[in-house]
Amino acid sequence: MFEVMFWLRALLYLSPLALVFGGATLFLQVERLQLPGIGDSLTGSIREDVGPLNPLEPRSGVTREIRDLVFDPLLVRDDDLNLRPHLIDAWQKQSVITIRCSSEEDAGEIEAKLRAGEYLDKNEELIAVDRVGSVLTVALNGFESGMEGALIRKFAPESLGDYQLVRLTLKHSVRDSLTTFLDSSVEKGQVKMLDYEGDRTAFLFLKGDTDLFLREFQLYYESNLVLEPKIEILGNQCHTSSQELIVDLRQDVKWHDGVPVTMKDVLFSYEELTRPGSPLPMNDSFWFVESIRLLSDFQIRVTCPETPSLMMESWEKLPLLPAHLLKGKTSPESWSAYFESPVGTGPYRVVRRLADGGIVLEAVPSWCAGAPGQKSLVYRKFDSMEAKLLALRSGIIDTLVPDIRFQDWAQRNPGVVRQFRCLPRFQHFVAWNLESGLLSENEVRLALAEAVDLSVVLQDGATSYQQPVRGLFFPGSPLVAEAMPLPLYDPKSAEKRLQRLGLRYDSETGTRIDEEGKVIRFRLAVNEANEEQVRMAEALAEQWLGVGVVMEIEKLSWQEILTERLLPRQFDGVLLSWETPLGRDRYSTWHSEAIAEGGGNLFGLRNQVVDELLQTLRFESDASSLAIAASRLQEMVAELQPCFFVCESGRIIWTRERAIETARPSPDGGYQISEPGIGKAGLERVRPWWVRKEPEWKQESEETPEP
């Protein structure tokens, strides 16, 4: 009888719990039936809805991860962060020299000798030579400085034309105004040849009595200053030169809807994103472009008045958009609808969005880098912690976006999940206005930096971690081997700096005052919708109050910060974040020319040494010289303190233990299997190759840990 009563009590006690687990398991099984193939899908548990997959907006977290699986860059970084072809198949830099000879016979003789290699040095490579009458066009490989002058000096002077060369550059198209001028010009007979370079530059070759023509020419354009004319008299010169970049596109790439990708898509993306008012203004990234000409469906020619060694980095940053779907679409609503379910060229295509805010992706077998081994991906929400844990232990969930509660559970149950820390891609900083009162003093900015104990400010969360900033460049970049020498926490030194400036500490109020007795206070604008930035701002204000400096926090909307603080430069400090770019160009952030409206130098930093270093980073190609310039730039920014670097942060990814492996396509048609990792180039380079291992189903007797 005792045994019977024991089992009855046990049954009554355990029945509700059994119903809960049974119901939860049934719920999960029903959900699996609603998503065909989910048992084979790599499934991620998410906390928030997957947002618009828009490559024109900064994104982080799961939405960024999915976006990068749908869209493909034109160029990629390999595991050593070197730039490599991807959708762009190849590129060639060439110098094009156009020579006006004295006669057709002289031009023909020079052409024959060039083809025979008589005028070329050992390191010079002739790509092409063309002759039309007495005009010779020569294309040499590379952008070597002074290449055209060295070649011209090898020709006999009497075989070259005798001209006075004038270059005209206008703000807008030069052809219309120059044609109008020549139609009415009395002295236009002196113009023997006329060449155009791009849309804004014209070369006039003059012969004879040119004084009257030049006077007439200059008077005409002086009366049309709205064109912003620039007239340069280059002297006796029979040649012009330009630098060209020939870019070839892969011919086997298709959009997810089957339409071939061509250079028309590249040109549409370039024109759309470099126009005034673009949703992603990239005009500064392509400052070196004079003109672009479509040579074929898979080739363009880019004419460049200047030839930075990093020009391909700009193409790396250019998002590729489908011209056949977006060209002619002018309303924001049509673009928003496209980004909800975009057609890209990446390894995965969007199948559908789920009612719970998740999304289903399907592998693209014809992806140009090789078919992903994982056929489908599912990102979905789970209603409760209990449902999530059951799905995790059942092998349904493979990756997770955790919360604090799950993080605590994972620490109490080791061996169930694994944590990956992505690269610290994002930097968070206080941008100082160097034209705002005391903040124009470098000593004040250094004192504020030394007054902050970052160990108190920085705080890891469930989805991201924070650490002190190491440098201006992408983590692991070969440009710099050492961390940026930022000021260390030293409150006594901070107090001494402020004291030397006449800002004494008032013990009664606990604040620092100037010679007139006014309390030293600044305003710090922060995005009110960003809880983490608000927390940082409050922690910083407390640290600065420790040395007597009052920091008043302005909690504003991002639109208010942008339009009422940043653009009109009406701020003391603004707490901002940016993503560290892969490339080395920092011109638009730190150069003094970028202070103007629309530029990225929000701080108002003006420093000649910094400007020269930025120029070096743009044009230098020698690796050792680049490393020296990058290291020196970091030293200068650390010394000048145009901003206070709070921290850099990286994403935290959780996976089910032993659930994921990496499968990269191998030359034999199979896959090379390895353990998953992040790599020097970040998650973007390895995520397409993550595949789901066969689930290791637990024994029925194994208990599910309590949440």
Residue 342 in any domain: the answer is: no
Decide if 366 is inside a domain. Answer: no
> Given this model, what pLDDT does residue 341 score?
94
Query: Averaged over 151-164, what is the pLDDT?
Result: 91
Helix, strand, or coil (residue 128): strand
Give the type of residue at 84.
R
The predicted pLDDT at position 16 comes to 39
Q: Is 529 exposed, middle or buried (0-12, 13-18, 19+ CB in 10 A)?
A: exposed
Q: Where are any strands of DSSP class E within 381-497?
A: 399-400, 417-421, 426-432, 464-467
> Rounded distance, CA 49 to CA 635, Å?
42
Torsion sign (Cα): 149, 154, 157, 159: negative
For residue 290, the 8-state DSSP code is: S
Measured CA to CA, the distance from residue 219 to residue 251 in angstroms comes to 51
Q: At 126, is the secondary structure helix, strand, or coil?
A: strand
For tokens 């005052």, what's the residue? Answer: 513
**At residue 222, what are phi and psi to the nearest 5 degrees?**
-70, -25
Q: For residues 636 and 613, is the Cβ–Cβ distance under 8 A?
A: yes
Burial of 685 (0-12, 13-18, 19+ CB in 10 A): middle
CB atoms within 10 A of CB 317: 18
Question: Which candidate, 676, 75, 655, 67, places its Cα nearest to that of 373?
Answer: 676
- Determine the pLDDT at residue 15: 37
The pLDDT, as a whole number, for residue 6 is: 33
Contact 255, 343 (CB under 8 A): yes
> Residue 81: which region, alpha, beta or left (left: phi > 0; alpha: psi -120 to 50)?
left
pLDDT exceeds cutoff 90 at 700: no
* 119: Cβ contacts below 8 Å, ≥ 6 apart: 110, 113, 151, 154, 155
| Residues 11-16, mean pLDDT to the nearest whole number | 35
Structure tokens at 289: 């472009």
Beta bridge partners of 553: 524
Q: pLDDT confidence of 694, banded at 50, 70, 90?
A: low
What value does the mean pLDDT take over residues 31-53?
A: 73
**Cβ-count burial of 36 within 10 angstroms (0-12 exposed, 13-18 middle, 19+ buried)?**
exposed
A 10 A CB-CB count for 17 gives 9
* Mean pLDDT confidence for 475-501: 93
DSSP annotation string for 681-698: T-HHHHGGGEEEPPP-PP
Read off the tokens for 282.
């990239």
Q: For the chain, what percent of residues have pLDDT higher than 90?
A: 67
Task: Work out whether strand 671-674 and strand 464-467 pair parallel, antiparallel, or are unpaired.
Answer: unpaired
79: in domain: no
3-state helix, strand, coil in the chain (%, to 5): 35, 25, 40
pLDDT digits (tens, 9 = 90+) for 281-303: 888 899 999 889 999 999 999 99
Do the beta carbons of residue 544 and residue 452 sit within 8 Å?
A: yes
Give CA 692 to chain center in angstroms: 30
Query: How far apart (Å, rounded) are the C-alpha atoms in residues 558 and 574?
Result: 11
Distances (CA, A) of 676 to 43, 125, 389: 16, 45, 23
Per-residue pLDDT averaged across 87-105, rounded? 93
Mean pLDDT for the stretch of residues 503-524: 93
Written as one string, the DSSP assignment of 250-282 is: -SS-B-TTSPBP-HHHHHHHHHHHHSTT-SS--
Whether 495 maps to a domain, the answer reads yes
The dihedral of CA 650, 651, 652, 654: what is its sign? negative
Kindly give the residue spans of alpha helices, DSSP state H, lying in 52-153.
61-70, 104-115, 147-152
For tokens 């190759």, what's the residue?
Answer: 689
Whether the Cβ atoms of residue 633 and residue 613 lie closer than 8 Å to each other: yes
How do strand 521-527 and strand 376-380 relate by DSSP bridges?
A: unpaired
User: Distance between CA atoms of 286 and 274, rounded to whole angstroms?
Assistant: 8
| CA distances, 34 to each of 28, 42, 46, 48, 341 (Å) | 10, 16, 18, 21, 20
pLDDT at 46: 94
pLDDT digits (tens, 9 = 90+) for 331-388: 889 999 999 999 999 999 999 999 999 999 999 999 999 999 999 999 999 988 999 9
pLDDT range class, residue 78, cuts 50, 70, 90? confident
CATH number at residue 513: 3.10.105.10
Give the mean pLDDT of the chain.
88
Answer whether residue 75 is part of any domain: no
- Is the pLDDT reported for residue 10 higher than 80? no
- Identify whether 122 is part of a domain: no
**Would you tell me how many other CB atoms lie within 10 Å of the CB of residue 569?**
15
pTM of the model: 0.84
Residue 288: strand, helix, or coil? coil
DSSP state of 703: P
* More confidently predicted of 660 and 18: 660
End-to-end CA distance of the chain: 36
Mean pLDDT for the stretch of residues 68-78: 95
Q: Report percent pLDDT > 70 for the chain.
A: 93
Contact between 353 and 341 under an 8 Å Cβ cutoff? The reply is yes
Say if residue 95's pLDDT is above 70.
yes
Residue 423 in contact with residue 650, Cβ under 8 Å?
yes
297: tokens are: 């469906």
**pLDDT recorded at residue 39:** 52
Tens-digit pLDDT profile for residues 238-294: 988 888 999 999 999 999 999 999 999 999 999 999 998 888 888 889 999 988 999
Alpha-carbon distances, residue 698 vs 324, 396, 397, 452 (angstroms): 50, 12, 14, 50
Does the CA dihedral 284-288-293-295 come out positive or negative? negative
Interatomic CA distance for residues 705 and 707, integer angstroms: 6
Residue with tokens 């492996």: 661
Question: What's the mean pLDDT in 6-14?
Answer: 34
Q: Return the amino acid letter for 578.
A: W
**pLDDT for position 294:** 96
**β 42-45/399-400 pair status:** parallel
Lowest-confidence pick of 35-39, 535-539, 630-634: 35-39
What's the domain count of the chain?
Answer: 1
Q: Which class for 702: exposed (0-12), middle (13-18), buried (19 or more C-beta within 10 A)?
A: exposed
CA torsion through residues 492, 494, 500, 501, sign: negative
**What is d(CA 707, CA 699) in angstroms, rounded to the nearest whole number?**
20
Is the residue at 513 inside a domain? yes
Domain containing 495: what range?
426-651
pLDDT tens track for 413-436: 998 999 999 999 999 999 999 999
Answer whether residue 21 is part of any domain.
Answer: no
Q: Which SS3 state, helix, strand or coil, does residue 674 take?
A: strand
Antiparallel, parallel or unpaired: β 201-206 and 135-141: unpaired
